[in-house]
Amino acid sequence: MKLYSAPGFTSLADHIAMLEAGIQFEVVKVDIETKQIEGGGRYLDINPKGYVPALVFEDGEVLTENVAILAWVADRAPELAPQGHLGRYRLLEMLSFIATEIHKRFPTYLMLPEDVREPIAQEILRWFRFAAGRLERGYLFGKTFTVADPYLFQLARGAAELGFQLPEPLRDYIARIEERPAVQAALRREGLA
């Protein structure tokens, strides 16, 4: 199994979740600008959408999108998902929220000239404040780390690197998650630590 990833992008969330779950896989680095695969090959032949992540199974099937891959990981490692009769759906709810309200605003923010970014920055911060309100017991779903946490972590970490003034619970959250062995391993494997 191969995870196509680009260092510093949200594919790091999938990388972390798969390590947390104990899933065996190879990481293949993608140059997002050129759409080339490290070692040769065109990434567009793997994922015509051109962005990461893409998870390629032994039979050649390809799964893309953070929400889908993280849900797939949670199905294989139920300890990384919220429990209860609505647990799976609460996870999908949170993953969808992170994808649509936070993640998808960043490309727009980064493409705009700096002098007109402020409204998008305020929207991003609004949704980070909402997520921060969920962290009072440690993680998005209380005391249990789930596959949603590395997704929020990567986005918050990236926002902090861009200079966003994140609410205090998120700054603590980033530091706490960075200490996890799977996170350290993923950061090293992607050349980010």
- CATH 3.40.30.10 intervals, the chain: 2-76+182-189
Q: Which band of pLDDT confidence, cut at 50, 70 and 90, is reported for residue 170?
A: very high
pTM to 2 decimal places: 0.96
pLDDT above 90 (res 146): yes
Q: What pLDDT, in 10s, does the model give residues 108-138?
A: 999 999 999 999 999 999 999 999 999 989 9
Mean of all residue pLDDT scores within the chain: 96
Beta strands at 36-37 and 26-31: parallel, antiparallel or unpaired: antiparallel
What local confidence, expressed as pLDDT, does residue 112 receive?
94
Cα-based angle 31, 68, 102 (whole degrees, multiple of 5): 70
pLDDT above 90: residue 18: yes
Task: Give the bridge partners for 63, in sequence order.
Answer: 55
Give kind and range of the element (H or E) at residue 17: helix 11-21
The pLDDT of residue 193 is 83
SS3 (DSSP) at 103: helix
What residue type is assigned to position 169 of the chain?
Answer: P
Q: What are the pLDDT digits (tens) for 66-89?
A: 999 999 999 999 999 999 999 999
| Residue 17 vs residue 168, higher pLDDT | 17
Rg (CA), the chain: 16
Q: How crowded is residue 26: how many other Cβ atoms within 10 Å of its Cβ?
A: 9
Closest by CA to 76, choosing from 138, 28, 14, is 14
Report how far apart the first and last C-alpha atoms of the chain are (Å, whole number): 24
Cα angle 12-174-161, degrees, rounded to a multiple of 5:
75
CATH class held by domain 81-180? mainly alpha
Confidence of residue 54 (pLDDT cuts 50, 70, 90): very high
Q: What value does the mean pLDDT take over residues 31-54?
A: 97
Percentage of residues of the chain with pLDDT beyond 90: 97
User: 2-76+182-189 domain in CATH 3.40.50.1370?
Assistant: no
Task: Report whether 82 contacts 147 (CB < 8 A).
Answer: no
Q: CA 145 to CA 141: how far, in whole Å?
A: 7
CATH 1.20.1050.10, the chain: domain bounds: 81-180
